[in-house]
Amino acid sequence: MKKKITVQICTGTNCYVFGGANLLDLEKNLPSEVKEKVEVKGATCLGFCKDKKYGKAPFVLVEDELVSEADVHKVIKKVMQYVDKVVD
Amino acid sequence: MNNDTNLFIEVASSQKIKSGESISGDTCIISSNDSKNRITLILSDGLGSGIKAAVLSSLTTSMALRLFQNCGDCVSVTETIMKTLPVCSVRKISYATFTMVEIQEKRLVRVVEYDNPPIVVFRGGDLIEKEKQYFKFEHPILGEQKFSYMEFELQLGDRLICFSDGVTQSGMGERKYNFGWQWENAVLYISEVISSDPDVSARDLSDKIISKAWANDVFQAKDDITCACVYCRKPRKLLVVTGPPYDEQKDSYIAYVLKNYPGKKIICGGTTANIIARELGKEIKVDINDRSDDLPPIAYMEGVDLVTEGVITLSKLFRRLESLNQVSMQGVLRPSNLIDKMALLFLHSDVICFLVGTRINEMHQNPDLPVELDIRRNIVRRIKEILERRFLKEVQIEFV
């Protein structure tokens, strides 16, 4: 198991204008006990917006799992599902 | 004709307004004709300062620009302008002085000077003196009037520097320069700047000259301080790759062009950056903490000077360029701000090539988008127009 949970925020145009801009401060909103276990990264367009089957922007990848119409609340919820799996 | 693509004529001007005034009484116009084979620079100093001087100097520059661009005979044009200009009834002197520089086909330089400090010509690091012809004519009110004319062939590395008397008289009355900085000291300063930085751009040189003159005035300009520089140089090149190609088979082409481009490189667009990274086997790193101006964060790729988001960033860049004019750039652009940093990359380049992918991102046409996103090629066309018209850059666009 990896040490840290990787969160990739899509910074493509579409994701950004549909609310991705608010996700860029995700790290500040993470519960303090989780912060050290998570690595928040930006990514150039992940390409999910080009296929409707993935849902709507903004998109965030938590590890390999896609979160569509992502907001801070949804992403933190997904991150918390992984937290327990991380070996300290 | 000299269509040498290895030569570029950079022209830039800078200005400080007289302390306490809201408008400069000096006017400087830099313009190129539609076929871009003739560049005209006119610097006029209106009598006095403030609005009245500004009206007189802008009247002079616009009249001179129109006449010089449309009439080949500099001498008769100058006489006409001087006879037309209003005359101060009290001081019996002309209301505005001017210097006109015209460069044809990147080669022939013609200079007309009327009562401004003499133009300075440097060839490489050396001050050179070109022979001037003096013309006299009888003015109906002022009596005998004199102006000078010179022409010569421009060479790679030549610089022409002209300034208003706000430069030569700066520091007057201050301890260091009792009688003002004077032309000789200004020339000495220019020579020092060139010897310490032999490739100094026209933009930086004119900024440095006015900053020095302003410092001479202890940062409270006693007159309007204006300087304009011309530099015949090898072009500094910038490539901007934006948008994925219409045909995916061209992906390798845009990567190839970027890899081999001899100059600075910008990628605008996440998908574009992904394509190039994939083709060249490079890594992209997005720094989510490095963002400004409500723009998506910038990214880093080895060998590329700047990687940004696409259409939002380009639209903001256009608006920023639109807000600037030829003389007000100094101190306005902050490299810590993404758009300003990008604008500086453009303004510090002479030849700018856009490689524009024309594949439409259908999601950008979504009517639910909270902001209006223009089509990439339209934004690029607008940027090209402003760079050519206002900043005299050579801009090429290739659509793929």
Sign of CA dihedral B320, B323, B329, B334: negative
Residue B69: per-residue pLDDT: 84
Contact across the interface for A43 and B286, Cβ inside 8 Å: yes
CB B317 within 8 A of CB B342: yes
Tell me: pLDDT of B2 over 50: no
Tens-digit pLDDT profile for residues B35-92:
778 899 999 999 888 998 999 899 999 999 988 888 878 888 998 888 888 787 777 7
Contact across the interface for A24 and B312, Cβ inside 8 Å: no
Size of interface A-B (CB pairs under 8 A): 71
Whether the full predicted model's pTM is greater than 0.95, yes or no, is: no
List chain A residues with pLDDT less than 50.
none
Query: Is the interface score ipTM higher than 0.90?
Result: no
Question: Among residues of chain B, what percentage have pLDDT more than 90?
Answer: 68
Nearest residue to B400 via CA among B269, B303, B283, B286 = B269
Chain A residues whose beta carbon lies within 8 Å of the beta carbon of residue B251: none
| Block residue for tokens 């922007």 | A57
What average pLDDT does this structure show over B231-253? 95
Nearest-angstrom CA–CA distance, A63 and A49: 18
Which domains, ranges and CATH numbers included, belong to chain B? Answer: 8-233 (3.60.40.10), 237-399 (no CATH)
Tens-digit pLDDT profile for residues B90-106:
777 767 899 999 999 88
Nearest-angstrom CA–CA distance, A54 and B299: 25
C-alpha distance from A12 to closest chain B C-alpha (Å):
6
